[in-house]
Amino acid sequence: MKQLLLMTGVCALALAACDNAPEREEIEDSVADAAEEVQEAGEDALDALEGAMDDAGDEIEAMTEPDDSAPAGLIEGLGALCGQSFAGTITSDADPRDDGFAGRELVMHVRECMDDEVRVPFHVGDNHSRTWLITRLEDGRLRLKHDHRMEDGSEDVLTQYGGETESPPQGARADFVVDTFSQELFVREDIPESATNVWIMELTDTAFYYRLTRENRFFEVTFDLTETVDTPPTPWGWED
């Protein structure tokens, strides 16, 4: 706009000083052309500004909307599978310490689901003694406990061991560092090497991973979430 006013003023002075009609007409035509170019340039700039404002508005709206693509937490992800059962296979290297699992049907059953806890029995063939208890603590961290029962429902000697995450997990993976209770239990039961255990649970769209790791030890079971299997029997010590 300032450019248009300046040009108009300059041309007006030129017209006032010009007595020759043809030259005056030529100047008038130049002024009209220049004014049209300036107006078009202004309209283009306005259009560009409006487009930039629209784009910025879209970006701000996208930033304030919930991100549906963000991964759910472990408890929420397992809760979405509540009531379903899935078959697993050992996906770590063969190890004699895993003979109790090798060659047996491995099934996880997402059996009980609450806002801050899920209970997942882990069936190994005809052994229905194991249940994973995954609990959210008040500070957002997660706790894992292994509930082990005898066939009559009484507690196994090795039970309620596990650990906690060091901070609230981001996404659907949690690394549970062995807790003091479990360390003392392992030492008391003459398996002190387990006192450095870290258990890892990870959930993706297609698989659930259960891992046990420490120095010179790695055990992993991968469960296929793309296909359900029949619901196993009620785990020992739990009511229907």
Q: 116 burial class (0-12, 13-18, 19+ CB within 10 angstroms)?
A: exposed
Residues 6+ apart with CB under 8 A from 215: 196
Q: Is the pLDDT of residue 115 over 50?
A: yes
Phi, psi of 204 (to 5 degrees): -120, -175
How would you label 2-13 residue by residue, b for 16+ Cβ within 10 Å and e otherwise? eeeeebeeebee
CA 113 to chain centroid, in Å, comes to 19
Residue 72: the pLDDT is 79
Of the candidates 196, 188, 239, the one whose C-alpha atom is nearest the C-alpha of residue 214 is: 196
- Residues 137-165: tens digit of each pLDDT: 999 999 999 999 999 999 999 999 999 99
Model confidence pLDDT, tens digit, residues 22-58: 565 665 666 566 556 646 666 665 566 566 657 655 6
Arithmetic mean of pLDDT, 179-187? 98
How far is CA 71 from each of CA 63, 77, 78, 112, 174, rounded to the nearest angstrom?
Answer: 17, 9, 12, 21, 13
In CATH, which of 2.40.30, 1.10.3470, 2.60.40, 2.40.128 is domain 74-224?
A: 2.40.128
β-pair type (198-203, 207-214)? antiparallel
How far apart CA 170 and CA 52 sit, in angstroms, is 34
Q: Quick one: which H or E segment has residue 29?
A: helix 21-64
Report how far residue 41's alpha carbon sits from residue 235's, in angstroms, rounded to the nearest whole number. 77
Q: Which two tokens stand for residue 15?
A: 């017209």
Q: pLDDT per residue over 72-92, tens digit each?
A: 799 999 999 999 999 999 999
What is the tens place of the pLDDT at every residue in 48-64?
656 665 765 565 455 44
The token duo for 187 is 């030492």
Tokens in use for 201? 């649970």
CA-CA distance, 220 to 95, in Å (whole number)?
11
Q: What is the distance between the alpha carbons of residues 135 and 126, in angstroms, rounded to a whole number?
A: 27
Give the pLDDT score at 121: 98
Instruction: Give the residue among 143, 141, 133, 124 at the shortest CA–CA distance from 223.
Output: 124
